[in-house]
Amino acid sequence: MTSSPFIFQLGAVRGQIFTDGVGVSAPEVSAARYPDHVEQMRAEIGEAPVHGSRNVLLLDAGEERILIDTGEGKFNAVADGLLIPALRDHGVDLGSITTVILTHFHMDHIGGLLTEEGTPTFPNARLIAARPEYDHWLSEATLAALPADRAAFIRSTFAAYERVELVTPPAEVLPGIKLIPAYGHSPGQCAVLIESQGERLLHIADSWHIPAQLNLPEARIKFDAVPEQAIASRRALMERAEQENLLTLGYHFEFPGLGHVRRAGNRRVWIIK
Ligand SMILES: [Zn+2]
């Protein structure tokens, strides 16, 4: 049996967070992912092992059943990844998902969109994504530079789904759900702000990967595509999360990844929900 989702309520919206897989890294291994700030990150992380996850958010909002990102799918070492079997095991009919919002097109976010046979995993869903992200990854220049299996996957994914809606962020894509530019980690990455009955949740996608970055926003992870832009986006979102006291979700934080960015003296702290 796959692990159970974390269930919460945001105003009238029911949220469930599924993990597509968890991992644990030694502090020095985690710090080494920040090539310009290895020593500083090592100090921020401390001595405890770093727990990570791929936290996939499912929202039930009226008639809409919305998934934000899809895990690694067949790119996972485990066949199908862990998200798809977890959804099935916990009573989520894949055909009941009406919308999949994609924060960005890295494989650990879009890999679950296709079945092993190459058909849509979510046969009745439309995809919503930011136009800058789509235009980057679907350009012939980008595809030509990718490993062949990834390029083929991207081409066939966006051909397999009949409805792909591209928006220019910031944009309200569904009532109370906004895509916010968080460019840099991937050229067109977006965060997602969800609001219902005055309650709000900020899904930061991969704007930062672990809470230990909160006091070192200038530390770029080696996967940031446009580092300076990623740093600026990260700073802005951290400030917003703190100043507006937003419930915040990190895609790669320890499961389920929900908490608040708070200030303690001259430092930021991550308070788990
Ligand atoms: Zn990621």
Whether 204 is covered by a domain: the verdict is yes
Whether 45 is covered by a domain: the verdict is yes
Whether 89 is covered by a domain: the verdict is yes
Q: How many domains does the chain have?
A: 1
Whether 1 is covered by a domain: the verdict is no
pLDDT band (50, 70, 90) for residue 74: confident
> What pLDDT does residue 17 have?
98
Distance 194 CA to ligand 1 centre (A): 20
Residues with Cβ within 8 Å of residue 215, at least 6 apart in sequence: 44, 267, 268
Give bridge partners of residue 128 from the DSSP assignment.
Answer: 101, 165
Question: Which percentage of the chain shows pLDDT scores above 70?
Answer: 99
> What pLDDT does residue 6 have?
98
| pLDDT tens profile 117-136 | 999 999 999 999 999 999 99
Distance 223 CA to ligand 1 centre (A): 9
Ion ligand 1: residue ranges with CB closer than 5 A: 108, 206
| pLDDT tens profile 163-182 | 999 999 999 999 999 999 99
> What pLDDT does residue 131 have?
98
Strand ranges for the chain from DSSP E = 6-10, 13-25, 50-61, 64-68, 99-101, 126-130, 164-167, 171-174, 177-181, 190-196, 199-203, 247-249, 258-264, 267-272
Report whether pLDDT(101) > 90: yes
Distance 50 CA to ligand 1 centre (A): 16
Distance 19 CA to ligand 1 centre (A): 13
CATH at residue 213: 3.60.15.10
> What pLDDT does residue 114 have?
96
Distance 94 CA to ligand 1 centre (A): 22
**Domain range for 205:** 6-272
